[in-house]
Every structure is written in structure tokens, then in C-alpha cells.
């Protein structure tokens, strides 16, 4: 028999949690109502502006920097709670940079204090950037490139059903853009890997493309896939002509009978459109032997038809005649 935690242990855990929450709330209250000044670390978004339109980043610029700010307890708490909507940010001006440049952040913002954006209704001041202390900008030529979309998808129809043909992708290729050296390594894009199980009907959906990171832009983030799923059925195809291949010159060959019938298995709609001209029934004359009377032909179906059976007749005779000079 299993027992729960002892009552005294539960009490200690709840008391410990409650006391910790109370202590935190008390400290926060003291901090808020205080008019004393404090310093606090806050993550500032980094905005890199004025990139030459013919250039692209070789490496991603950090999205944020850890910044030390100063203000009263009340103003610091306000800044912390509303930082996502307040509009704090650090601006790096990339104008004139053609290849590489390293920003030493505190030197840069000391020289250009207007690049530190502090909302007017937040009475806080900038002290310094704590991390990172520098950011290296590396640029490359900005190019465009068309690449095919490769499908990373496993399709498993339900028992009794089959996929007809390949999965259709729209668009089948997309345009990517970014630094030249990065794009030289990309020959295709593919969707996020997925598996579809138990399909019993045609399936249309959007799938998301895998990203190569923030440096590479896509003309499409999603593509549409179209999968033809049909229930498996059988159908008899008659009057399929028998073909003889590799017949030498001045030799005439006559199969008997000249046509056969068989049963095909495949998707209901697909085999409904099938006719005798879509199936190849072949005898290779290289296999002919004057002492041999009957020959079993080879059967070749379209790729999207599953199988055949019940060939009738199964064996054929061939008559061989030589043309007169």
C-alpha cells in the first residue's frame, strides 16, 4: 500500500512556499514605494539600421543586449513589467559599412547617446551595456536564388487504400534571398518532417518549410501539398496486344493469340481510366527456341497501378517465318 506525504512534510513545504512568496512580495513592495535610486539589468532589443540594400549579414546580429539602467524603485519595476511594450532599444547605424565593422558598444553609445532609446515617460537613465561589450558586423553581397522544394513527408494510407502518383507541391520551387556565400550552399528547401497515417480520402494541406536561420529569407514560408488517396479495387482489362521485341530483319513473328486479358489492382479512379494501350505485354524474340512451343510474356504496368494477376492465356505460342528475298 502506498501512502502520501506525511502531514508535517506537506505543512513544511506549504509554509516554506508561502513564506518565500510573502518575503518576495514584501521586498517588491518596499522596492516599489521607495524613492531611492537603484540600478537594474534589463534586456534591450538591438536594432541594426541603414543596411545597404545590396548587402546582407553573414552572421546574425544579437537580438538583445543586457543593459544596466538607473532609476527609482518605482520606475525600475515599471520598466521591468512593461519592457516588452515600452520601446527600449539600442540602435546600431550600419550606414557606410561595406564588409566588416566592430562596434564597441559603450564607446559607441557614449559618442552617440541618442542611439540609446529610452521612452520619455520612464524616468530611468542608461548606465552601460554589460553584455555583449562589442558586436562585429560582417556583410556579404545580397543575392536571390530559385530552389526546388523537397518533400520530407511519409504517407501511410489506411488499409484498403493507396496513394496514386506523387504528392503535388505548390509552389514546387521558391525564391530565397540572403548572403551569397550562404546561398551557394543551399540547393533545395524542405518541409518540417512529418508523417500522415490512416488517410482514406484525397488530402490537401499547408506544410511549413524548414528555416535555414535568420540570414536566409523565403518567398514562401509554407507550401501546399495535394495527395490523391483512393480505395483499392480490381478490374479486368481485355484485348491487350502482345508485342514481340528484338525481331531480326527479314523475320516475321506471329503471337497466338495476339491479345490477352488480365486483372489489375489499384486505386478505384485510376484503374477506371486504364485501357489496353496503357499496359505492355512483351515477348523477347531473343528467348525464341525452335524446340520451345510456349512462351510466358512479361507484363509492364503504369507506376501508379499496384499489380496484375490472372493473365489469360498465361502462355502463348509464336510462329516464325522468314521473308523471301
Q: How far is CA 66 from the centre of its chain?
A: 33
Q: 101 and 59 in contact (C-beta within 8 Å)?
A: no
Q: Which pLDDT belongs to residue 250?
A: 87
Q: Which CATH number is 233-322's, of 2.60.40.3950, 2.60.34.10, 2.40.160.60, 2.170.120.30?
A: 2.170.120.30
Phi, psi of 209 (to 5 degrees): -85, 145
Q: Rounded distance, CA 122 to CA 78, Å?
A: 8
162's grid cell: 493507396
Q: 15 and 52 in contact (C-beta within 8 Å)?
A: no
- Enumerate the domain spans of the chain: 1-33, 35-139, 142-231, 233-322
Q: Could you check whether 35-139 and 233-322 share the same CATH topology?
A: yes
Q: Which pLDDT belongs to residue 28?
A: 60
Q: Rounded distance, CA 297 to CA 261, Å?
A: 12
Q: 157 and 117 in contact (C-beta within 8 Å)?
A: no
| CA distances (Å), origin 58, targets 36, 49, 98, 103, 130 | 45, 16, 12, 16, 25
Q: 148 and 176 in contact (C-beta within 8 Å)?
A: no
State the greatest distance between any 2 C-alpha atoms of the chain, in Å, as a whole number.
Answer: 119
118's grid cell: 529610452
Burial of 162 (0-12, 13-18, 19+ CB in 10 A): buried
Q: Which CATH number is 142-231's, of 3.50.50.60, 2.170.120.40, 3.40.50.2300, 3.90.180.10?
A: 2.170.120.40
Of the candidates 297, 227, 213, the residue with the CA atom closest to the CA atom of residue 255? 297
Of the candidates 245, 273, 270, 240, the residue with the CA atom closest to the CA atom of residue 257? 240
Q: Which pLDDT belongs to residue 94?
A: 93
pLDDT by 10s per residue, the chain, length 325: 444 444 344 334 444 446 556 555 655 665 555 678 889 999 999 999 999 989 999 888 999 999 999 998 888 888 888 888 888 999 999 998 888 899 999 999 999 999 999 988 888 999 999 999 999 999 999 999 999 999 999 999 999 999 999 999 999 999 999 999 999 999 999 999 999 999 999 999 999 999 988 899 999 999 999 999 999 999 999 999 999 999 998 899 999 999 999 999 999 999 999 999 999 999 999 999 988 989 999 999 999 999 999 999 999 999 988 877 6
Q: Rounded distance, CA 129 to CA 104, Å?
A: 10
147's grid cell: 530552389
Q: Rounded distance, CA 298 to CA 42, Å?
A: 76
- Cα-Cα-Cα-Cα torsion 158, 159, 161, 162, nearest 10 degrees, comes to 90
CATH assignment, 35-139: 2.170.120.30
Amino acid at each position: 500500500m502506498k501512502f502520501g506525504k506525511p502531514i508535517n512534510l506537506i505543512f513544511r513545504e506549504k509554509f516554506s512556499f508561502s513564506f518565500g512568496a510573502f518575503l518576495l512580495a514584501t521586498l517588491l513592495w518596499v522596492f516599489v514605494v521607495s524613492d531611492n535610486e537603484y540600478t537594474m539589468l534589463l534586456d534591450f532589443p538591438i536594432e541594426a539600421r541603414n543596411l545597404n540594400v545590396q548587402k546582407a549579414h553573414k552572421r546574425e546580429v544579437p537580438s538583445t543586449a543586457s543593459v544596466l539602467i538607473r532609476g527609482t524603485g518605482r520606475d525600475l519595476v515599471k520598466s521591468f513589467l512593461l519592457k516588452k511594450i515600452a520601446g527600449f532599444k539600442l540602435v546600431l547605424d550600419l550606414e557606410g559599412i561595406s564588409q566588416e565593422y566592430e562596434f564597441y558598444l559603450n564607446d559607441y553609445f557614449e559618442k552617440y547617446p541618442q542611439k540609446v532609446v529610452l521612452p520619455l515617460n520612464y524616468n530611468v537613465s542608461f548606465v552601460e551595456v554589460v553584455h555583449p561589450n562589442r558586436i562585429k558586423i560582417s556583410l556579404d553581397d545580397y543575392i536571390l536564388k530559385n530552389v526546388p522544394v523537397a518533400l520530407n513527408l511519409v504517407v501511410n494510407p489506411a488499409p484498403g487504400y493507396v496513394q496514386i502518383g506523387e504528392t503535388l507541391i505548390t509552389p514546387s520551387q521558391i525564391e530565397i534571398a540572403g548572403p551569397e556565400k550562404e546561398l551557394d550552399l543551399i540547393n533545395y528547401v524542405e518541409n518540417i518532417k512529418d508523417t500522415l497515417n490512416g488517410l482514406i480520402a484525397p488530402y490537401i494541406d499547408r506544410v511549413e518549410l524548414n528555416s535555414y536561420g535568420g540570414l536566409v529569407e523565403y518567398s514562401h514560408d509554407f507550401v501546399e501539398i495535394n495527395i490523391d488517396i483512393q480505395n483499392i479495387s480490381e478490374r479486368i482489362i481485355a484485348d491487350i496486344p502482345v508485342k514481340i521485341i528484338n525481331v531480326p530483319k527479314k523475320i516475321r513473328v506471329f503471337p497466338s493469340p495476339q491479345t490477352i486479358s488480365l486483372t489489375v489492382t489499384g486505386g478505384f479512379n485510376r484503374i477506371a481510366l486504364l485501357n489496353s494501350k496503357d499496359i505492355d505485354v512483351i515477348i523477347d524474340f531473343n528467348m525464341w527456341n525452335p524446340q520451345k512451343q510456349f512462351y510466358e510474356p512479361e507484363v509492364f504496368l503504369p507506376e501508379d497501378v499496384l499489380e496484375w494477376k490472372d493473365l489469360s492465356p498465361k502462355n502463348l505460342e509464336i510462329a516464325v517465318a522468314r521473308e523471301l528475298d
